[in-house]
Structures are given as structure tokens and as C-alpha cells.
């Protein structure tokens, strides 16, 4: 792989803070940290514009004793079967369950799935984390 060198100017205070951050995160050098920031920015831009396919996870915590939450979750997941690659279900305690759905598809469809699930009565919290498979 070939690389091109570019110059970046920083104010001294900003560079000191950046160096502290990359040391905490364990980067070997500034270049790799800057490349990661650029990749992240490109991925976020593509996701916002809803171009191409995304992949990620939807993690939810719910109380299985609330209403018909289990059936509603299953119904919603079956309705969006094309966006769900797999699920993992964990019993947290006697009432609470944690589910992780591995999701893939068009950003708008995956977001709709996440919004529909998070809106179900009994779902206490949900978090969608998405990325692109390529930059």
C-alpha cells in the first residue's frame, strides 16, 4: 500500500491535548490517530447520507413482564428479518433481558427497525451502533 504525506498545522495547546489523547488510546503515532479520525468522519458522512449498506448492532434491555413486550419484539424482528443477521438473548435477572441484534442493510431500514424496537413498551433502553464495512 502506498501512502502520501501531508502536513497538518496545530496550535500548541491543541497538539498537546491531541498527544495526550492518542497516548491514552495507545496509538503508536500521530499519523495513525489522524487516519482513524479521517476514516470515522468519512464513515459518519456516508451513514448520514444513507449511501450504501451499513452494519452494526442494536443492544436493548427490556422487562419481559411488561405487557406483551416479548411478542411485540418477536413480531417486529420477524417483520425486519432482512435487516437482522443474528440475535443473542441473555437473562440479566428474573425480569430483565438483554438482547443484541446484529443488523445489516440500508441505513434508513436499520434505523426504522431500531426506532420501532426502542418504542415498544417494556424496552427500557436501546442503543444502535452502526458503521460501514468499507471506507
Give the tens place of pLDDT for each residue, 15-53: 999 999 999 999 999 999 999 999 889 888 888 877 778
pLDDT per position as a tens digit, 92-118: 999 999 999 999 999 889 999 999 999
Distances (CA, A) of 80 to 49, 69, 73: 22, 16, 11
CATH class of this structure's domain 12-48: mainly alpha
pTM, to two decimals: 0.79
Answer whether residue 74 shows pLDDT above 90.
Answer: yes
For the chain, counts of helices (H) and of strands (E): 4, 4
Distances (CA, A) of 82 to 27, 59, 117: 37, 18, 15
Domain boundaries, the chain: 12-48, 53-131
Kindly report the CATH number that applies to the domain delimited by 53-131. Answer: 3.30.70.1150
pLDDT mean across residues, the chain: 92
Amino acid at each position: 500500500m502506498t501512502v502520501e504525506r501531508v502536513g497538518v498545522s496545530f496550535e500548541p495547546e491543541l497538539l498537546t491535548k491531541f498527544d495526550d489523547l492518542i497516548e491514552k488510546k495507545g496509538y503508536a503515532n500521530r499519523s495513525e490517530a489522524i487516519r482513524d479520525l479521517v476514516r470515522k468522519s468519512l464513515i459518519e458522512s456516508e451513514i448520514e447520507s444513507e449511501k450504501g449498506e451499513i452494519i452494526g448492532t442494536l443492544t436493548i434491555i427490556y422487562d419481559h413482564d411488561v405487557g406483551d413486550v416479548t411478542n411485540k419484539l418477536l413480531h417486529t424482528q420477524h417483520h425486519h428479518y432482512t435487516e437482522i443477521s443474528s440475535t443473542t438473548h441473555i437473562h440479566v435477572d428474573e425480569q430483565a433481558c438483554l438482547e443484541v441484534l446484529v443488523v445489516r442493510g440500508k441505513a434508513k431500514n436499520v434505523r426504522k427497525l431500531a426506532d420501532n424496537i426502542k418504542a415498544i413498551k417494556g424496552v427500557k433502553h436501546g442503543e444502535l451502533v452502526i458503521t460501514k464495512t468499507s471506507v
